[in-house]
Amino acid sequence: MDIILLGPPGAGKGTQAKRLEQMRGMIQMSTGDMLREAVAKGTPTGLKAKAVMEAGELVSDAIVSALIGERLDNAAEFGAIFDGFPRTGHQAEALEFLLAERGRKLDHVIELVVDEEMLVERITGRFTCANCGAGYHDRFHRPKTEGVCDICGGTEFRRRPDDNEQTVRTRMAEYRAKTAPILPLYEQKGLVRRIDGMASVEQVAAAIDAILDG
Ligand code: AP5
Ligand code: ZN
Rounded to the nearest angstrom, the distance between the alpha carbon of 95 and the centre of ligand 1 is 19
For ligand 2, the distance from its centroid to the CA atom of residue 91, given in whole angstroms, is 31
Q: What share of the chain in percent tops pLDDT 90?
A: 95
Q: Is the pLDDT of residue 146 over 90?
A: yes
Is 199 assigned a ligand-binding role in the annotation? yes
Bridge partners of 128? 135, 158
pLDDT tens digits for range 50-87: 999 999 999 999 999 999 999 999 998 999 999 999 99
Pick the closest to residue 26 from 5, 10, 7 (CA basis).
5
Amino acid at 4: I
Predicted-complex ipTM score: 0.96
CB 119 within 8 A of CB 11: yes
CATH number, domain of 99, equals 3.40.50.300
Write down the pTM of the prediction. Answer: 0.93
Maximum alpha-carbon separation in the chain: 46
State the pLDDT confidence band at 116, using cuts at 50, 70 and 90. Answer: confident
C-alpha 104 – ligand 2 centre gap (Å): 32
The total of other beta-carbon atoms located within 10 Å of residue 181's CB is 12
For ligand 2, a single-atom ion, the residues with CB < 5 A are 129, 131-132, 134, 149, 151-152, 154
Residue 23's pLDDT is 94
Rounded CA separation 82/103 (Å): 17
DSSP letters for 53-106: HHHT-PPPHHHHHHHHHHHGGGGTTT-EEEES---SHHHHHHHHHHHHHTT--E
- b/e per residue, 120-143, with b = 16+ CB within 10 A? bbbbebbbbbeeebbbbbeeebeb
Domain membership of residue 28 (yes or no) is yes
Domain region containing 36: 2-115+178-213
When pLDDT is averaged across residues 207-211 and rounded to a whole number, the result is 98
Check: CB of residue 16 under 8 Å from CB of residue 123: no
Percent of the chain scoring above 70 in pLDDT? 100
- List the one residue out of 104, 102, 109 whose CA is nearest residue 87: 109
For residue 45, tell me if it sits in a domain: yes
Q: Give a yes or no: residue 132 inside a domain.
A: no
pLDDT for 182 equals 97
Mean pLDDT of 38-54: 96
Asked if residue 119 belongs to a known ligand binding site, the reply is: no
The size of the chain, in residues, is 214
What confidence category does residue 214 fall into, taking pLDDT thresholds of 50, 70 and 90? confident
Q: How far apart (Å, rounded) are the C-alpha atoms in residues 15 and 21?
A: 10
The catalytic position among 71, 142, 160, 194 is: 160
Residue 60 is predicted with a pLDDT of 97
- Compute the C-alpha angle 129/198/79, nearest 5°: 60
Q: Tell me what pLDDT residue 74 has.
A: 92
Q: 149 lies in a domain? A: no
Who contacts 198 (Cβ-Cβ below 8 Å, separation ≥6)? 113, 114, 115, 118
Mean local confidence (pLDDT), 100-109: 96
- Give the chain's mean pLDDT: 96
Q: Please tell me whether residue 133 adopts helix, strand or coil conformation.
A: coil
Determine the average pLDDT of the residues in 15-24.
94
**Ligand 1, from 19, 31, 118: best to mutate by most atoms within 8 Å of Cβ?**
31
Number of domains making up the chain = 1
| 108 found inside a domain | yes
Is residue 71 domain-resident? yes
Quote the radius of gyration of the chain (alpha carbons, Å). Answer: 16
Residue 160 lies in a domain: no
Give a yes or no: residue 140 inside a domain. no
